[in-house]
Amino acid sequence: MNTDSSFRFERGVDPNATLYVLRRAALLVKELAGGEVSSHVKDFYPQPMKPAQIPVTYKNIDRLVGISIEHDRIRDILTFLGMEIIDHDAEGFTVEVPTYRSEVTREADVIEEVLRIYGYNNIPFPDQLRVSLSSVPRPDREHIQELTGNFLSDNGFMEIINNSLTRAAYSARFDFIKKAGEVKINNPLSNDLGVMRQTLLLSGLESVLYNLNHKSQDLKFYEFGKIYQQNPEVHNIDVTKKYNEQLRLALLLTGQTHPENWHVQEQPVDAYLLRSYVEGILKRLNIPVDTLVASPATATYFETGLQLESNGRSVVEFGKINRPVLQHFDIRQPVFYADFDWELVLKLLKNHQISYQPVSKFPEVRRDLALLVDEKVTFAELRKIALDAERNILQHVGLFDVYEGEKIPKGKKSYAMSFALQDERRTLTDKIIEKTMNRIADALKQKSGAELRK
């Protein structure tokens, strides 16, 4: 309850006012209730609370107030407020604050009392205001990480945070852990915390195993974490050159896509689901997926995998973890893993500008082609050939069907591809569309050996 009493006493009570309050209470009892004062006051106060003595300098008063106030005026204000000047000279003074002013404990509090009585409106506002502006480097790393984390959490992922220390025995068990690149701890607490981790995969699989052992079978994890390596060829004392520290983002999927339910068919997670999340992250950060080059994953812990590259550097590598790695952790169900080079992702965002483009007034036209291609030909290659052949009105190339089997020659496969055509200046005519599709079909035939299926 907010009362007048609580408003007063929650701000502190003067311990030296006890005698005064006791006498006042006794007189009120005598006056209003007919009581009698039976004896003198007995006060047992072995360690009296002494008033605080605070040194104050005129230099600090001028600095905090912003102007110079007459020294006599300052001392008169404090005396008027019940404080006592016990010592002063040209540099400053020492003020004794009564015990009932429990909120005045510092020099700044004393200066505030002076300014309150002197009047804030008497402080002139300067004609010039000088400030130092702090700028956040683009892109804002924390904001981008939070944006990505929210996207993953909204899609059912749970964030995990593992220890950066891991087992030294992993380097002897897995070929993707470099023994020469280990960052060792001089005085490790245990064998399980002997070196800094070189990948987020192994600690992530430990988290997967822990949850599987506790009957949590359907898992979607993500982790932002750093990996550490040393360059054995560098013998410099400078740790910035001898050791390498990288920020990564890891995704782990296992189990079913949906919880067990009577109206939803159970479907295990697969590489395509993982790819959708990988591309979703890139699209959420406005990184055009089409500008990244797709190629087979190179990490040895993948059974099958894919990597997306930019200027020859891997932005993300994802796929299915192979059986030997899972068997080491006694994990008996498939696990899919994605590893982002987060430092490279931030570099791709550094000079990235987002611009608004109004929706076109002219309709989009779609045409489909069924192509018979060699097994080694990838959709990415065909897409690049098509975009190179038509740069003006070809907006999008998609793949909606792949067929291998009967009626297809051995060593061949059938791709059904869609082509979206649109001109921002006019409506496309049948003549322009037919001419464009013929040019694209000829380019596909010449550069990839593709044959049109009828």
Instruction: Give per-residue pLDDT as tens, 241-280.
Output: 788 899 999 999 999 988 777 888 888 999 999 999 999 9
User: Which pLDDT band holds residue 96 (cuts at 50, 70, 90)?
Assistant: very high
Determine the Cα–Cα distance for residues 334 and 269; give it in Å rounded to an integer. 8
Beta bridge partners of 177: none
Instruction: Give per-residue pLDDT as tens, 317-349.
Output: 999 999 999 999 999 999 999 999 999 999 888
Amino acid 236: pLDDT = 63
> How much is the average pLDDT of 162-187?
88
User: Which pLDDT band holds residue 93 (cuts at 50, 70, 90)?
Assistant: very high
Contact 146, 209 (CB under 8 A): no
For domain 4-122, the CATH architecture is 2-Layer Sandwich (3.30)
User: Which pLDDT band holds residue 355 (cuts at 50, 70, 90)?
Assistant: confident
Amino acid 260: pLDDT = 75
Q: Retrieve residue 67's tokens.
A: 């102007």
Amino acid 318: pLDDT = 96
User: Which pLDDT band holds residue 11 (cuts at 50, 70, 90)?
Assistant: confident
Higher-scoring residue by pLDDT: 438, 191: 438
CA angle centred on 114, ends 110 and 115, rounded to 5°: 115
Contact 107, 73 (CB under 8 A): no
Is 80 exceeded by the pLDDT of residue 80? yes
User: Which pLDDT band holds residue 140 (cuts at 50, 70, 90)?
Assistant: confident
Is 90 exceeded by the pLDDT of residue 190? no
Whole-number mean pLDDT of the chain? Answer: 89
> How much is the average pLDDT of 378-400?
89
> How much is the average pLDDT of 82-108?
91
> Quick count: other Cβ atoms within 10 Å of Cβ 221?
21
Instruction: Give per-residue pLDDT as tens, 310-323.
Output: 988 999 999 999 99
> How much is the average pLDDT of 185-197?
85
Amino acid 188: pLDDT = 83
Sheet of strand 293-296: strand arrangement: 158-159, 219-230, 243-254, 335-341, 313-321, 302-310, 293-296
Closest CA relative to residue 278, chosen from 313, 299, 253: 253
| DSSP string of 115-172, one letter each residue | HHHH-GGGSPPPS--------PPSS-HHHHHHHHHHHHHHTT-EE----SEE-TTHHH
Residue 201 class from Cβ within 10 Å (0-12 exposed, 13-18 middle, 19+ buried)? buried
> How much is the average pLDDT of 139-159?
93
Q: Domain spanning 365-452: which superfamily?
A: Ferrodoxin-fold anticodon-binding domain (3.30.70.380)
Amino acid 416: pLDDT = 92
Amino acid 74: pLDDT = 93
CATH topology of domain 141-350: BirA Bifunctional Protein; domain 2 (3.30.930)
Is 70 exceeded by the pLDDT of residue 189? yes
Amino acid 353: pLDDT = 67
Q: What is the pTM of this model?
A: 0.65
| Residue ranges covered by each domain of the chain | 4-122, 141-350, 365-452
Q: How many percent of the chain have pLDDT more than 90?
A: 56
Amino acid 130: pLDDT = 80
Q: Retrieve residue 339's tokens.
A: 């590893």
Higher-scoring residue by pLDDT: 418, 6: 418
Amino acid 237: pLDDT = 63
Beta bridge partners of 4: none
Amino acid 352: pLDDT = 64
Amino acid 17: pLDDT = 87
The shares of helix, strand and coil residues in the chain, as percent rounded to the nearest 5, are 35, 25, 40
